Amino acid sequence: MARHNDIGHAGEAIARRYLEERGYRILETNWRYRRAEVDLIAMDGKTLVFVEVKTRNTTAFGEIEDFVTRKKEDLLIAAAHAYMEHIDHDWEIRFDIIAILYLDEQSYSVKHIEDAFFPGLE
């Protein structure tokens, strides 16, 4: 497996632990809908949270969270709609980004951006 895939998988595992340590209940990992994949779907109290995890080993090319493009947001929104329909959703939702600067398993930082974007707002 390519190193960038290894870093991505490590970042998703770190993000999951990070959320669980803060009381989130993970419902799904790598949930797919058409061309979209939601890295983590979790409950934060009564709020359904769709989480995009971005992991990089440098910030030389910009802030990690800035790599979540408008196209990616649109894919996540479509997947969220499908998931909400699938579970007969009737509560609040949120889209978060977890940006991880990863050097190795012992050396990384986590930046959690709650309400990173909202459907319909540009």
Residue 9, domain CATH: 3.40.1350.10
Q: What is the pLDDT of residue 3?
A: 53
- Phi and psi at 82, nearest 5°, equal -65, -40
Is 122 a member of any domain? no
Is 17 a member of any domain? yes
Number of compact structural domains in the chain: 1
Is 91 a member of any domain? yes
Q: What is the pLDDT of residue 99?
A: 97
Residue 7's domain comprises 3-116
- pLDDT mean for each 10 residues of the chain (122 residues): 68 97 98 95 96 92 90 95 91 95 88 89 51
- pTM exceeds cut of 0.85: yes
